[in-house]
Structure 1
Amino acid sequence: MRDVALAPRTVPPLTGGLADSLFDLAADQPARPLIARRTDPAATEWEEVTAAELRDEVVDVAKGLVACGITPGHRVAIMARTRYEWTVLSHALWAVGAEVVPIYPTSSRDQVEWILRDAGCVALVVEDEQGVMTVGPVCARLPALRHVWQLDAGALRELADRGAFLPALTVDSLRRIVLPDSTAVVAYTSGTSGRPLGCALSHRGLASPCDTLLAGWGHTAAPPGEQGRVLAFLPFSHVYGLMIQGLCIRGGLLMAHEPDPGQEALASALRSFRPTYFYAVPSVFEKMYKNFLRTAQQAGRGALFERAARTARAFAAATERQRLGRGAGPGLELRLQHAVYERTVYRRLRAALGGRVRRGASGGSPLHRELSLFYEGIGILLHDGYGLTETCGGVTVQPLGREKSGTVGQALPGTEIRIAEDGEILVRGPSVFQGYVNDEGATRAALWGGWLATGDLGRLDSEGYLTITGRKKDVVVTSTGKSVAPAALEQRLRMHPLIHQAVVVGDDRPCVGALITLDPDFLAHWRAALALQGDAPVREAREENALRDEVARAVAAANSAVSRPESIRVFRVLPEPFDLANGLLTPSLKLRRDAIVGHYAEEIDAMYQARSRPPRLATPPDPVDWDDSDSVFR
């Protein structure tokens, strides 16, 4: 081992199950608002649900589960978007000692069947008729499955009526025998290759990062004296979403659910709910930045926005140097410029998030340093962290007052991080999972003497800050033997407004290449702004040339951050994005790299052939001849 980061533990150990925090809060502060609901998705008014009201509904549903034969240790799957019923159901299941098996509502029939069979689920809760149609044809092949409940058909009311004859003491008796090390969730990995694996996560494991973050960072969720407000919109089917739910319920924050993560629905919910803390994945922050830029350009203020963005990044960088003890902070001229843009630009940008957000969190993948500095500069300090399903979410966090953009922070108190000789990140701590369900071989391969081999690559600096550099299995090895971690290049490419997705390729090829998809919204705006004249064929040809040049500039900008052998020498712009429908994204929106390379094998071959030497040469091309990046549009 080369590097180690260790932080002391600061929170008391868990003594019961995850449902206890709701019951304890309802007993101590029954009138405290915990949930904000909308009866109509288009409504702008939110109704508050108190801790006592939420607990009572959880008890009613839990009694119905018991009446239906759900007992401790039974596994029940939930296949629904992020909505109020998810929170009720999960806590009802935990209250009776059952285990939650989250399933993405976009999962295919084969994926649903595999998870239900592998986990041995005795019941399934779906959201709507589409969910029923997905699972219906496979029910006969799942003898353990006894119940299928549909939320939109009144599943919660049905369960409450079913258990109405049982006393509340029944639920309390079951809840009090749930142990911290009992399994609470079996979360299936996205399955970027092969079958997804079920990660057994304990009550203690899921509570640990939440309680640690609340103890040290919980006060940052809102201004002093105010209750924190969080809009939950990422899927609870992912451990990141589950962690946010845990933070809100265990910390007494007011949580609202937005089942539609689309741009318009999310923007409307943010404006009406007005959260004090905003969490998302990097792609959401990237998209928001591009929308800011596009809106400014459409209003004829593109140059103003770009100047304001440069000032924001410069101001944040100077502030960072000051808090890390490496500089004096922003100078007078920079402070004056920043103050001007605060009045004219920054406050308008914050208004897009409801106007009350001053801090937020990014997770799921590393956030680009320039993007992090931009948000800090406009008044929203983002805490970029690191975690994975096998660690119940959080492993690292930015230390308060010493945040460092471009890193994912330091190890959470009570958690240890090591970097192996090959650069792999190893983690040990209370949130590490119990193992993979029904796969002892995979469990042994992942856990080495209590250390979890994450499969991620990273480095620790002298102060214990972790920087993620990629995934071990994603490393590209060219025919010259050069190993390239694609994450940094792909991240820099996505910073260009026109680029939506990027996949670096090059295994056994003479140089590094890239497959690129374009952002449809910004592309339409870009075409309109170009306003080329002439008849259609001439105009389209000139537009294509201009687009090729613009993407080539994005590639050159990405290449500036890496060495010459690591740089992208060829690329191809694809006509459609990688998405769930074409099987090139996982349900958690990660790239299925193997599937992408297989799907676009012909395009990749053509991309490299376009740069090879003429066939009359008997010798293969020398990599030194691959000097200028080539753009190949399809």
Structure 2
Amino acid sequence: MASQTFKVPSSEVPGYSAIYRNSQFKDGTQGSEFSHITTACELFQHHLAIAPKAEFMGTRRFDPANGTFGEYEWLTTSDIAELIEDFGSGLDHVFAKYTANSKGHGTQQALGMYANNRYEWFVAEYGAFRSRRYTVGICDAVDVQTAEYPINHAELSVIVCSIDKIPRMLDRMAGTPSVRVIISMDRLDLSRPNNLTQAFCAATAGPSLRKRAAALGITLLDMDEVLEMGRAKPTVAQLPAPSDIGVLCYTSGTTGVMKGVLLTHDGMINGSRSSHFSFQYTDTTYLSFAPLAHCMDRYVIYMMMFGGVRIGFGMGDRARIVEDIQVLRPNIMLGIPQFLTALYERMARATIRANGMTGVVSRIAYRSKRQRLAKKGELRHPLWDRVLFKKVAAQLGGRIKAILTGAADLKPEVIDFLRAAVSCDVVQGYGQSETGAAGTIQRLGDYTSRHIGVPNAGSDIRLRSMPDYGYLVTDLPCPRGEMMIRSPSVFTGYFEDAEKTQETMDGEWLATGDIVQINTTGTVSFVSRTKNLVKISTGYCVSSERLDRIYAQHPMVHSLFVDGHQDYNKIVAVVVPEPTEFIPWARSVANAPNASLEELCAKPEVAKELTEVLRIYAASIGLTVYEQLGAIYIEPVPFNEKRHLFTSLLKFKRPAAIVHYDVQLKKMYEEVGGHL
């Protein structure tokens, strides 16, 4: 197989690998197509030109009589364009009247955004772009501090939010002194409540909120009032330059304090355009549900706006995303790994893991589809799709062409199953807030797994040796090291943190903090974050994140996190068992045929025996003695039920987990001994 990357000749320097590029874009550029589009505003005008009367943004209709959501109601691209113009003019009046001296970045002012995904977010954001303002997304999916930090760090004075967020904003006014104006996405008199919030807004909420805000010295408006200001007295648009800041995006905080990432219009457009060239999607339907406070969903939307897209917004309840999908029937779906894993578990239980004849037939069909895919590169099967998998695919609307995923690693068996069961591409990619969510992307038609694709069009990557951890660019046959990215999509720096910016940049290269390897096919495989590498007391370097993925492959493991410490010579882990495999095995070990999951997890003999099972498994697949678990704590409650252990993008927060399981970790280290 030809390499999917182009190795730039003579580009190696000591300590660094050669420079690698997408083999379809060897000159390191994206070519001339769409080169005239350099800002988000120009991208919207492009979409307006190609689809002015097409359905663009939709919201599910809510029926207050029975409390249910129905079909989608749509606004055209022209409808959205009119709203953007009027709201942008209204924003000019709001800032001039109430916060003329509001803080921002350089000559630009900031607008806070605080809501679930909905079309009003897009209108407000583009209304800000229209007058060279940038937006700051706020997300409180985890705790109050997650919302307060960006408000205070960016010193936001004007925030647009959904009505359900306003009470908690007013509750915390003492902790967010910069806020002067709150603009509700919903009518404060509730005469025309939005479908997304009508389900949980009390009839008296609006009037009471106005009184509370006034008592606190806060000007409380709603979007309709701001739109009317703009219609009554239109202002002249001051469109952004490519180098202007479009978004101040706060990192999700997996490793500590959030950082404010400054992304230019040109950078955001460059990243999304590069992926459009990889996929060439046109006239797609897309469900927006990954938080717009971060980069990923916005990046995918922009990517599809080059070819035309209609965007549906769900009910705002992640537990009911599948229902939104079935009603919208999207072509392209962004799949957060945790969501896709849960989807796989449910589908697999009903098919390949089912008992009786259903399971037998499903396993035969699954093997047949995988063999056809491997030999012919064909996603569809004339028999098994009609007999079995068409019903499975219908759970995702029946029209999915591709599922795009990133943010965290996805198990190969999940990828393989979804390709077979849904008959669609499952495309893994890599990006950070600092790269505007762009970085690497898997090609359509590549049905392999265990990698994150190749460099985006117009992006260069290289590796930097990490000798202290044993990862070298001279490793054979696959160079390994910290991934560095050079691209127009890379951020301009961290907001008000020149020192951290300098630490992150190596000249014109972004140091991602992620260890990867370049495979013989030219694809890139993720190994670990450098912050998740630790040297144990023997001097051996352990990648806890890598070991998480490996041990999670064992059938009795649902999930786990591995921990190592420089003062001990053994690693330990907190393990969440897979109940269907674990319970019968553990009952046999404990000689307790009626014991519950919780009772089995608490039995020392079960923990000891499972540790040995995992040690034997680790040895059988070639892990070194230092990578074999010395002790485990069995946790009956899945990690995803502990919300504070995950970011709003459902990425695992290892530092928070270490604090949460501090007692158990200390006990395990005492058990394994080896303290120096």
Which TM-score bucket, shorter chain as reference? 0.7 to 0.9
Could you say what the CA RMSD is over the residues aligned between the two structures, in angstroms?
Answer: 3.3
Q: Secondary structure at the match of 1:597?
A: helix
| Offset of residue 343 of structure 1 | 3.3
The residue that corresponds to 1:6 in the other structure is 21
1: CA distance, partners of 2:540 / 2:399: 48
Q: Which amino acid aligns with 2:52?
A: P
The residue that corresponds to 1:251 in the other structure is 307
2: CA distance, partners of 1:196 / 1:314: 45
2: CA distance, partners of 1:261 / 1:14: 38
Instruction: Tell me whether 1:516 sits opposite 2:538 in the alignment.
Output: no
Q: Structure 1 residues 282, 185: closer, same or farther in 2, change over 3 A?
A: same
Q: Secondary structure at the match of 1:74?
A: strand
2: CA distance, partners of 1:547 / 1:43: 47
Q: Is the 8 A contact 1:6 1:416 kept in 2?
A: yes
Instruction: Tell me whether 1:174 sits opposite 2:238 in the alignment.
Output: yes
The residue that corresponds to 1:162 in the other structure is 229
2: CA distance, partners of 1:313 / 1:149: 52
The residue that corresponds to 2:153 in the other structure is 118
Q: Which amino acid aligns with 1:510?
A: N
2: CA distance, partners of 1:558 / 1:93: 54
2: CA distance, partners of 1:498 / 1:351: 30
Deviations 1:471-521 (A, max 9, x none): 0010132222221223333234445677553211122332222212357xx
Q: Secondary structure at the match of 1:516?
A: strand
Q: Is the 8 A contact 1:184 1:202 kept in 2?
A: yes
2: CA distance, partners of 1:120 / 1:601: 35
The residue that corresponds to 1:442 in the other structure is 500
**Correspondence 1:63-212 to 2 at 5 A:** 63-69=89-95, 73-106=108-141, 108-129=143-164, 131-140=165-174, 142-154=176-188, 155-167=222-234, 170-171=235-236, 173-175=237-239, 178-212=240-274
Deviations 1:64-84 (A, max 9, x none): 111102687111111111122
The residue that corresponds to 2:623 in the other structure is 563
2: CA distance, partners of 1:43 / 1:133: 25
Q: Secondary structure at the match of 1:242?
A: helix
Q: Structure 1 residues 406, 380: closer, same or farther in 2, change over 3 A?
A: same
Q: Is the 8 A contact 2:115 2:139 kept in 1?
A: yes
Deviations 1:195-248 (A, max 9, x none): 2110000111111121122233123x6xxxxx2111111111121112122224
**Correspondence 1:531-570 to 2 at 5 A:** 539-540=594-595, 544=600, 560-565=620-625, 566-570=627-631
**Correspondence 1:340-359 to 2 at 5 A:** 340-359=383-402
Q: Structure 1 residues 496, 237: closer, same or farther in 2, change over 3 A?
A: farther
Q: Is the 8 A contact 1:585 1:591 kept in 2?
A: yes
Instruction: Tell me whether 1:390 sits opposite 2:451 in the alignment.
Output: no
Q: Is the 8 A contact 2:61 2:70 kept in 1?
A: no
Q: Structure 1 residues 469, 526: closer, same or farther in 2, change over 3 A?
A: closer
The residue that corresponds to 1:599 in the other structure is 660
Q: Is the 8 A contact 2:515 2:527 kept in 1?
A: yes
Q: Structure 1 residues 198, 585: closer, same or farther in 2, change over 3 A?
A: same
**Correspondence 1:288-437 to 2 at 5 A:** 288-296=343-351, 300=356, 301-319=358-376, 340-378=383-421, 379-402=423-446, 404-422=448-466, 423-437=481-495
The residue that corresponds to 1:456 in the other structure is 514
Q: Is the 8 A contact 2:291 2:648 kept in 1?
A: no
Higher mean alpha-carbon deviation, 434-443 vs 117-126, is at 117-126
Q: Structure 1 residues 34, 269: closer, same or farther in 2, change over 3 A?
A: same
2: CA distance, partners of 1:260 / 1:241: 14
Deviations 1:341-368 (A, max 9, x none): 3333322221111111132211112333
Q: Secondary structure at the match of 1:81?
A: coil
Higher mean alpha-carbon deviation, 577-586 vs 504-513, is at 577-586
Instruction: Tell me whether 1:270 sits opposite 2:325 in the alignment.
Output: yes
Q: Is the 8 A contact 2:87 2:227 kept in 1?
A: yes
Q: Secondary structure at the match of 2:513?
A: strand
Deviations 1:255-280 (A, max 9, x none): 111253534x1111111111111221
Q: Which amino acid aligns with 1:68?
A: V
Structure 2: gaps of 5 or more residues: 1-15, 101-106, 189-221, 467-480
Q: Is the 8 A contact 1:559 1:568 kept in 2?
A: no
| Offset of residue 295 of structure 1 | 2.9
The TM-score, its normalising length taken from structure 2, stands at 0.78
Q: Structure 1 residues 570, 125: closer, same or farther in 2, change over 3 A?
A: same
Q: Secondary structure at the match of 1:21?
A: helix
Q: Structure 1 residues 25, 194: closer, same or farther in 2, change over 3 A?
A: closer
2: CA distance, partners of 1:237 / 1:258: 16
Q: Which amino acid aligns with 2:659?
A: G
Q: Structure 1 residues 598, 404: closer, same or farther in 2, change over 3 A?
A: same
| Offset of residue 530 of structure 1 | 10
2: CA distance, partners of 1:429 / 1:591: 27
Deviations 1:512-540 (A, max 9, x none): 22212357xxx4x779999999xx97511
Q: Is the 8 A contact 2:336 2:649 kept in 1?
A: no
1: CA distance, partners of 2:651 / 2:635: 18
| Offset of residue 16 of structure 1 | 4.7
Q: Secondary structure at the match of 2:62?
A: coil
| Offset of residue 401 of structure 1 | 3.8
2: CA distance, partners of 1:497 / 1:157: 54
| Offset of residue 563 of structure 1 | 1.4
| Offset of residue 314 of structure 1 | 4.3
Q: Is the 8 A contact 1:571 1:607 kept in 2?
A: yes
Q: Secondary structure at the match of 1:179?
A: coil
Q: Is the 8 A contact 1:4 1:417 kept in 2?
A: yes
| Offset of residue 390 of structure 1 | 0.2
The residue that corresponds to 1:31 in the other structure is 53
| Offset of residue 20 of structure 1 | 2.5
Q: Is the 8 A contact 1:235 1:241 kept in 2?
A: yes
Q: Structure 1 residues 384, 147: closer, same or farther in 2, change over 3 A?
A: same
Q: Is the 8 A contact 2:30 2:458 kept in 1?
A: yes
Q: Is the 8 A contact 2:252 2:648 kept in 1?
A: yes
Deviations 1:271-322 (A, max 9, x none): 11111112212222211110012234567534444444444444444456xx
Q: Secondary structure at the match of 1:251?
A: coil
Structure 1: gaps of 5 or more residues: 222-226, 321-328, 613-619, 623-634
Instruction: Tell me whether 1:58 sits opposite 2:102 in the alignment.
Output: no
Q: Is the 8 A contact 2:187 2:224 kept in 1?
A: no
Of 632, 645, 658, which aligns to 1:584?
Answer: 645
Q: Is the 8 A contact 2:286 2:309 kept in 1?
A: yes
